[in-house]
Structure formats: structure tokens, C-alpha cells
Structure 1
Amino acid sequence: MSTPTVVTGIGIAAPNGLGTEDYWKATLAGESGIGPVTRFDASQYPARLAGEVPGFVAEDHIPSRLMPQTDHMTRLALAAADWAFKDAGLDTAELPEYGMGVVTAASGGAVEFGQRELQNLWSKGKDYVSAYQSFAWFYAVNTGQISIRHKMRGPSGVLLTEQAGGIDAIGHARRHVRKGFPVVVSGGVDAGICPWGWVPQLASGLMSTEDDPARAYLPFSADASGYVPGEGGAILVVEDLAAARGRDAARIYGEIAGYAATLDPAPGSGRPPGLGRAARNAIADAGLTPEDIDVVFADASGVPDQDRAEAETLAELFGRYGVPVTAPKSMTGRLLAGGAALDAATALLALRDGVIPPTAHVSAAAPDYPIDLVTGAPREAPLNNALVLARGHGGFNAALVVRRAQ
């Protein structure tokens, strides 16, 4: 029987903090990174707010030879991966190349790079299109660039389940570790704050059009009006516990104890959504019962119908007001493929420090949502097991249980 799969390194690039500890400090303080879009002129669009990663100077983190062939998204991912390796005290040069893998999540790929090159094609002609367009836009580019840079030639992949993707990637990373590969880099980093990434989200009708950053994204609130997009995410170093101890790992954040994924039935089928089943299966996979869960990091879409469905699912699973629920993504926006990975990293930090971060900008859950939503300030609590939930556009559901390091 394999030993537990654990997380030994975390790298975070988020709208309210660049680097893990800066992000965690801001999150506990309730500091939001949501504000007016600056990466393109959004003044003519109905939605004009986003969570943008502050203070990231790519040239400080990325070799010059990689700059022409990478998008903002991939540069954030490469930097986060470097930070995760450093945090884990892991030198990939000392490990067998075919013993290390990479599994990340993606949504539309590097859309900012792709948009620029297509504009060059339309306006100037094919001679002005970068040869790197052949791969730099690709949804698997983060996995590819991380694996190439660190010579990680083991099993690799990419999961395209939108907001659920970060959890799915971590679940697949655990699967590879259980098969005998000692180290897998996982998680997700996304960035689509450009017209090509903006318009498809607007078309969904789920984005908030509020202009006040403190009012735009209010998950579980009676005033919820949709979500705000963001960029960034988290990269995790996932290892076999015995291997981590064998190399005297600098730290162990916690165990990836349970994982499950489901797909919602077709609209109009009359069958229930799959989020509750994913949560129950992940808890069972961890060998736990709902009573063992100490905190839930909710998907928290900010769309009233979806918030109501999630609140009812949590009440059914844990009882009315049965477990603390939080949505720290209220400070970052929804990060597409990076969102669930950031929530998983945040849950591990919460377990480490015994504190639940608040849901920013929300004073209380809507009166008819029977959940114990953590608002206003962090809540100290003895935390052993956290449940992280995510739903991706198209009916994807994913659930992850992380256990505090023993």
C-alpha cells in the first residue's frame, strides 16, 4: 500500500499577493485585489473589473530567451513553479528526470498571446506572426514549459475543466504519485484578461457588471450579481510522503486525502446536480465522514441560482449551519483554471495555522442560505480536515479533501 500523498511546496501568484506569504497575509487581512481592468481598455465593455496580479515584472523571473515565446499566463506559472520548488527545498537536478511529472489545469490557453498574433495576421500579414504562436497559445503550454525548464520527463498532462481544473489536476497528480512517481508538480495558473478572454465570459451572462470593487463579487450574499474574473493561481509540489521524508523535506503542508469529480446531468433531465455527490465521494475517499470536515472552501460563484444550489448542497451534507464555510476568492475573483488550485493552497495554509480566512465584502450570507459563512474577520479554529469545492462551466464538479500534516 502506498504512503500518503502530501504537498511540500506552494507557489502563489494572486491578485492580492505575489508569493505565498504575501498572499496569505493579505487574505487574512481581508485585502482585495479586485479593481478596474488595466491590461486592456475595458471602458466599452459592460464588465470593467478584474483581479489582476500586482507588481509582477516578468523579466525579474523569466530568462530572456523565454520571453518571446511565453504569454503572461505562462510567465506567472513558471514563476509560481520556481517558488514552489524553492519552498519544497527540492532541486530537480538531483532527481531522476523520468521520476518527475507535471499536471496542470487550463481553460482557453494563452489567449493574450494568441490574440496579439492573430491581430498581426489580420492587420499586417503572415510574415508578422511569431513562429512561437504554434505552441505558445496552447492550453498545455504551462505543463510543457514547466516540464522543459526543469527537465521533468515523467507523466504529464493538462485538465480542461475550467474552474474545477485545479482540483482535477491535483487529483491526477496524486494518482501518478500512487503509481510510483515520487514528485509531481500540479495546480493551475490562468490569465485571460484581454478582449479574447473577456468576450466569451461576458457571453455567459454570469459576470458582474457592477463598477464598485467592493460590490461586484458578493458570493452567497443577498446582493450577489455575478462574478468578477481574475488571473493567477497556485502551483503545488506533490510528493509521496516516504520520499519527502527520505530527502528531509523542509516542510509538509498536508495530505491530499480525498478527491472526486462528477459531471452535471443535461439541463432539463430532472436529475440533481453532481456537486453533492462529488463532495460525498471525496470525503469517503479520504476515509472520513461529513462530521470530520472542519471547514469548507466553497466554489462560491456569486451567481444567485448557483450560490443557492451550493448552499442547499452544503446544508444537506453537513446540516443547517453545520460547518464553517468560506470563500476567500471574493478577494481575487474567479481565476478560471487557477481558482481551485489557489483554494487548495489556501486550505493547506489554513490547516497549517489553524485559522479560517474570511469572505470579503460580504457581511452575512443571504437569510435563506443555511450556511455558517465566515465573514468580517478570520476565525481561529482547530482544523484537521478541509473540503475544497469547485464547479467549472459546462457542468464539471470537483471536490478535494486535504488533511493537516501530522
Structure 2
Amino acid sequence: MPTSQDPAAGLIDNPYAVYERLREAAPVHRVAGTDGSSAWLVTRYDDVREALASPLLSVDKRHALPGSSKGLALPSALDANLLNMEAPDHTRIRRMVVRAFTSRRVEQLRTPMRETADRLLDALGTHGRTDLIAAYAAPLPITVICDLLGVPDEHRLDFRVWTDVLVAPDPSRPTAAKEAVVAMLGFFTQLLADKRKEPADDLLSDLIAVRDEGGRLTESNRLTDGDRLTEDELMSLAFLILFAGYENTTQLIGSAVLGLLTHPDQLATLRAHPEQLAAAVEEFSRHEGPALLAIRRFPTEDMTIGGVTVAAGETVLLSLAAANRDPRRFPDPDRLDLGRDTSGHLALGHGIHYCLGAPLARLETEIALSALLERLPDLALDADPAELRWRPSLRARGLLALPVTY
């Protein structure tokens, strides 16, 4: 994402240094994406927070000017999801599933989540070395979200591979992303067909009932009259829940563990006060969240952001990473401080597009860290932090691997 002020060198390894320079130079910058398309980048906390909730900024790509950056291109069967919708469709679809992700409902998953974490740690044994992303941080969320949706075990590794390709495309494999999309489309088509033949006690079977019978999910998962899903909306919703539920939580767990292993004072504090773990997850999210940028937005009319006039239809990129390290909102923002006031952090968004699965991501991260602290008391980093490799993505922040000893 080069700019006229900065060639953006180091955006992969240390995006925060780049964002700091941009944030202090000006609140809004004209930038060019990797495809050459133009966009506006917003970097300061107050501007980003206001923009996230602005009714003048739409995620609906139909508001985009020709040639504007629209993000990942997906077929309609996967693209009709909440990240591309505004009211009334966004409201209609979100209220069908929001009850499945309330804090109370998610809390009911605590025991099976912990059982999954313990099984993964049992497989590691009591001592050795491993890549904690591949062995723990990735399989835990994919297991939880697939169990919730009802995805068979034999397809879970495939989905991880496809997701990795879409999040961080390999320039040496120019057709890989398209191939992954085709494979995912076939996967979801077959999965929905299988669920229709043999419904089960899972969220996807419930959503199919919403699609085929009408109505929405109530607190007890029964259907009430009113809303319906199109087939594209059904498939796109399943895709979004599975994609986001796996990818974001994997990266948050990995970054949180790295944060603890490179800040022994914070690790000691958390070991001494494990009751503070839930609050600590908020600081991990602020300090090294999985999303560098919010989903792109398009003004529905000319508007002013940070003193800059942005024309209707231009692409606006909101930097969550820059906002969450804005010293105007968070003092000494580059320091990981598990005791700080993190209220108002934007790692999970703000406004009507606030992350639907936030309670699930929080609880999974809390349980993942709790199990590690209890089961592997001598966990240590097995690499120079400066040599760790991050995903080659300008949007997602996550480790490719996390070598540890225990």
C-alpha cells in the first residue's frame, strides 16, 4: 500500500512503525493498492471510530466508483454476506443468527472448548518443541467453529488450506486463490445438500431450516415467522462464519502467546492473577489484533473525514491497527500492558458491523491461553522474535509459525 509520503517498506514485518509515521503526518492519506487502484487510508482513532459507525460509509460494493478497490472478488454464492450488506438486508440476516453468538450462548461452549484444548495439548506431550500455530492455535478454532456449524472432520484441513490461500495469496501461484474459491464453492454446495438430507443439531442445519421454512432463530433456537434467506445468502453466511471464525481467532491466539513469551513481566502477572485473563484478551486484541484494516467502505455522498473531502464512491480504508495504537487514545500504545484500560478498542469493529462472533473469539482465546498456562508452565519461544515470519498480507496480521519449546 505505497503512499506519496512513504514507500511502506516493512508493512509486513512491522506495520505499526509505518502506521505511526502516517498517523503523525496526517489523519488521512491517498494510497494505492497492490492492484494499482486508489483509496483513502484513515489512521487516527477518533476518525476511524467515527467512520466505522458513519451512515454515509457503506460496505455495499454497489456504491463503489468504477475502478475503485473492492477487495476480494468472490462468486455471488459466497459474496452475499454481511461484509457487503447494509440495512435492511444486513439487519434481516444478522438478527437471524445473532442469538447463536450471544455471550450467554457462547459461554455454554466453555466446557467443550476446554476439552478440545486439552486434547490438543495431550497430543503434544509434556516436553518437546513444536510450531504452536499448526499444533494448537489453528486446530482449536477450526474445531470449535466446525463443531458449531456441523462440518465433518474430514473437510477441516481442506478449509484451513483454502483460507490460508485467500488471506495471503502466493504471487508465485497466481491461480491459487481462484482455485481455492472454486473448491470452497463446491464444498459448501455439497455440505448444504448433505445437511438437507440429514439435518443435525448444529447451526448450519438451523440456518437451512430458516432458508427452507422461513422464520428466524429465537433464544431457544426455534423458528418464528418473518424472515427468509436466499440460497446465496445462506451459503455466504456459512462461508463467512466459518472463514472469520477460524482465521481471526487463530491469529489472535498466536499473537497473544507471542506477546506473553516476549513480555515476561506480563506473563508473570497473568500467571499470578489468572482471573485477569478475560481482560487481558482485550489488550492482546488492541495491541496485535488479527485485522489491520476494516472491510473497505464507500461514501454514499461526498463527505469529510479528518479534514479531507472524500468523493462519493471512492474507496475508504480504516486502519484498525493504527487507531488502536494512537497515543491520543491509548498512552504508550506500543507497550503491551495487560493492566491498561482497553475500553473502546476497535479490533473487533464498531457500529452495526461490529464483529458478530466477538464473544466466541474472546472465549476461545481466553481458554486457549488458560490451558497453555496451566499445562505448559515452562513454555518458551524457540526463535529470535525478529526472525519470525508474518503473513504477507496488508489486511490480516498473523504469524506463519510460532516455534516453541515446552
Q: Shorter-normalised TM-score: what interval?
A: under 0.3
TM-score (norm 2): 0.26
The structure that has the greater radius of gyration is 2
Larger RCO of the pair (alpha carbons < 8 Å, separation 6+): 2
TM-score (norm 1): 0.26
